[in-house]
Structure 1
């Protein structure tokens, strides 16, 4: 299958996206939408939709509208998340609510959510029904994941299973749905669409756990965000929760204290916390957990009835994703 290429999907998607971006009236509703969609990002999810449609023997061009739905929804959630987090920057550029105002961010985000559903209207009724019901289920889970995340900020009894459920809902289910949509459009069997969903979900969890790890231990040169950002924000990531579970009493108390303050000079805090993460064995556990979920993803591939060459492409994609340093 020589036509397979991430660049090819990316190019097809970008040109489809650019065709959709039009300046309409009222401008204050549509300009922010075009702005956030134009900020780039990895476009990982829409590319996965096209790739999966292709690997399951469909025409990936048929999956472009579905890929748009995923990308518009994803960006809608970012606009609203940024308001909730009062974040000044997104992908290194000013966030929508800072560039315009909070009301604009809310309303433009609402319009994006509605827009994302309109992209499914180009599909025949049977496919439309499958896509929209999967999409709605996913959208509500993303909201639940975001709420868990917000709740965790004020709770000091968050467990590892709760944390894993939060990242599954907040991040992984959208990756999983993006892939399952591609398979649905390619008319794959129920069992195959479910298996590719499992692949995407487990890979999404591994990806997020790795993101947590890289946030603390990534290379500042290649990691797209501020290294130690989660520590500065006192985010209760996997590393933090595992350290609480594993560390000696003194280190545990030290960690809890450090996570109750926001010092002016955060460098010392970051270094001390990272030391506790390493000495407690949490870093080792995080790496094990990343491997466990990556393996679960690969196990899901074994049941899929596509030829081995295409399975290898999916596996290779997973391996490339998990080898990243950004």
Structure 2
């Protein structure tokens, strides 16, 4: 297959499959080894301790995922899990985001917003602004929560890190630098947070800092040594790094490792993402038939679980592949 055609096709469809993973709601931390779905991504393209070490961010502002402590299913202001998800979906849609990981993170951030101190912050105003697509007030509240925790001293590091991850979740939609600063600081305060390292890896990958992205995902992998879901997430994201580098053999190896774990756990959404990524690897290699085979498996699984945005993304790949095959 003509390499220039492959390149042009990849550029044309560079937003087709962006992070097809999803995160299920849970009662405790975002990264326990029990009740959550993956944050690994399918994407068609796709410090340290001082501010002076922060890289210059020159990148497209795409997007992210989240958080820390999740409370009960019902919250203040009448916002339960379903209502928070509807608001998250609306906000993401207004920002042009279809990434299920980002939407899930926003849901958790919105729920966390309703648990902030109502005597100190105007929560209802922040929710009303979010419904209009404006994240400014919500970001201000989490900035305040982080500052308040910081004043409490070292013992409040984890609480501050959680607030920063929520801030990063919102900023991920529109401000790479702000999101990067929030997640970077969160990993300094709470270095054992898998979510913090995972999101920092996504941001490094967004700005093209692939070595730093790989290091972040490797840190995630180490932290997930007893957590198979976390391992699958780390392997999937490492596959994205190597695919971006053009090392398709290594990328395929990582995607296969992720797929093996997801199969063992019966995680259909994770499997669907891995099949989608493997299809992209084989397409880039010029093996259209193998790519289509993987995409068909991906589509079948996404259809089975009713993941409509991902179904549309994979169907688009298949339609374009069919069109190309008929040329």
Q: TM-score, normalised by structure 2?
A: 0.33
Of structures 1 and 2, the larger Rg is shown by: 1
Q: TM-score, normalised by structure 1?
A: 0.34
